[in-house]
Structure 1
Amino acid sequence: MAATKNVVKESPNAVHQNAILCETIMKEQRHQKLYTNYSINPYTKIHVLTGKPNSIHDTEEGEEDSHFLEVIHRANQEPVKKFDYPQTESQEIGWITKPLLESDRTDRRLNFYRHNSAITKYMDAAWRDKEQRENMN
């Protein structure tokens, strides 16, 4: 019989647990980024309440924040006007809406119009006649 080894894994002691915790914290701090520039989320709805009709304070004209208006207008634009290139792969479909070739309706190589022969003209007239007879009954 083959000898089997009974390997018992020991739980880490306090020193090892502290080393694991320090390494985890160092990895987290390496990838963290501190943001100090805060702004309003332009995608949230802002409910404007009207003031009291007899109040002097509410009748004064307030100043418009031009940066805030610019952010709101930019958020309401189409993605093509906001960005120079698509931000996701699904935006790539339909991003360039300009046709590759200018359409020339007189060019018969690219435009195949329906041509009626004598048989098709006869059948069109027959179907129209049949529909008129059915509608009269």
Structure 2
Amino acid sequence: MAGGRQEKDLVHLNAIHVENVKKERRYQKLHTEFSINPYRKLHVLPDKPMCSKPPESLSEDSKVRMAPSLKYPKPITESQEIGWFVNELPPQDRQDPRFNFPRRKTDITQLALFTKKRGN
């Protein structure tokens, strides 16, 4: 016992805790109705940083409405490279074996179809 202080045992610590809880409950209120504080400013979302003009002031025939491939001579980003140079496909030639892969029936595919029809 240094300085005349006594060590507190678990009973005294529990009594102090119970007293603190009673004080907290005495001043605690349950709020069920909520409203906006009229004295506090609301957060206002800013405009988009890259949009300097409001959308209403842009004309329909401006470069904003054009496709990127018409606005720029070459792709600006890597994701624009896909589909940038689009040309019409050549007409299909069914006789050219390089581009035509018709379905062919073999003994294995006929056996697979036969077993599938039988339900095995």
TM-score for both structures, normalised by structure 2: 0.40
Greater relative contact order (CA < 8 Å, ≥ 6 in sequence)? 1
| Greater helix fraction, Structure 1 or Structure 2 | 1
TM-score for both structures, normalised by structure 1: 0.36
Structure label with greater radius of gyration: 2
